Amino acid sequence: MYDSLEEIVSVCEYENIAFPDLIIREDASDTGITEDEGIAKMHVMWKAMLEGARTYDPALKSRSGLVGGDGLKMQEYRVKGETICGDYMARVIQAAIETSESNACMKRIVAAPTAGSCGVLPAVLVPFYDEYKVSDDEMVRALFVAAGVGEVVAKRASISGAEGGCQAEMGTAAAMGAAALVYLKGGTPNQMIIAAGIAIKNMLGLVCDPVAGLVEVPCVKRNVIGAVNACSAADMALAGIVVRIPPDQIIDAMKDVGDSLNSRFKETARGGLAITPEGIKLKELIK
């Protein structure tokens, strides 16, 4: 697979090939399976993501008791028609909460790119799928766009909170979602990677500080921020707004920041929110 977003765009333009088709081709080459087999596997991922979003159970609580039920609260608020951000964005927020809570409650999710950031892609894709009546085939192609972006970030930097902080997980998920949205809206490959770059740039320095060492607080709400960030980045790119720092260099900057972060802010629960008085109190209560 490619280790540069700009190289992907260059190949797309030179060969006159669509972004997802290029990733599908490269995936087949790397894995040794046929393109049709690769597409079939991605359909399985999309189906699992969609089913996960459809089967949220508001009655479930995580074993710690820290999360559960907020997806229903967001839904009830949304249907009143009084949201500040409007119904569509409220659906995105709701979906991000629901999938993240499902993860904390040990329900089936798709790690995209990680379990901790699993709420971002469903949050941006499922409401779009419902709103615009997009085909499953087209949603799968959008997932290949997301996969291409995620692969580059993984190669150039990291997708692990333990290695690069939450910016690595949530920033990558937001970049993947932003690029996928731009594809679904008919944007160019260049706009797709610009959206990805904006999304990552907006999350540089985000630390990983899970309360009690659990992927619950603040992780659920950070999935919301990642999803909203993805939507705003996609809209900016589609509007023709560009990034002054090239997307690949933004990814490299994320690696630099991640490498510089103190270990306290890398999923160790030894810094940030995890060591606030309330964070310590919750940890003791959960024991």
Whose structure tokens read 């997802």?
Answer: 20
Structural contact between residues 173 and 226, judged by C-beta atoms closer than 8 angstroms: yes
Q: Is the pLDDT of residue 41 over 90?
A: yes
- Spatial CA neighbour of 270 closest among 278, 260, 280: 280
208: β partners: 266
pTM of the model: 0.98
Q: Which residues pair with 266 in a beta bridge?
A: 208
d(CA 164, CA 254): 8
For residue 35, what are the domain limits?
A: 5-286
**For 61-89, b where at least 16 C-beta lie within 10 A, e where not — what string?**
ebebebbbebbbebbeebeeeebeeeeeb
- The whole-number pLDDT of residue 281 equals 98
CA distances, 6 to each of 71, 193, 196, 202, 277 (Å): 38, 8, 11, 19, 45
Q: Which residues contact 165 (CB under 8 A, 6 or more apart)?
A: 205, 206, 207, 208, 257, 258, 261, 265, 266
> Does 1 score more than 90 pLDDT?
no
Q: What is the dihedral of CA 88, 94, 99, 105, to 10 degrees?
A: -170
| Residue 287 pLDDT | 79
Rounded to whole angstroms, the Cα distance separating 96 from 265 reads 23
Q: At 2, list the tokens.
A: 């490619």
Which residues touch 135 (CB under 8 Å, ≥6 apart)? none
pLDDT confidence of 258, banded at 50, 70, 90? Answer: very high
Counting the structural domains of the chain, the total is 1
Tens digits of residue pLDDT in 152-192: 999 999 999 999 999 999 999 999 999 999 999 999 999 99
Q: Average pLDDT in the 44-67 region? A: 97
The full DSSP string for 82-150 is --SS-HHHHHHHHHHHHHHHHHHTT-----SS-STTTTHHHHHHHHHHHHHT--HHHHHHHHHHHHHHH
The mean pLDDT value for 223-241 works out to: 98
* Residue that is written with structure tokens 């707004």 in the block: 241
Render pLDDT for 140-153 as a digit per residue (tens, 0 to 9): 999 999 999 999 99
The C-alpha atoms of residue 222 and residue 117 are separated, in whole angstroms, by 8
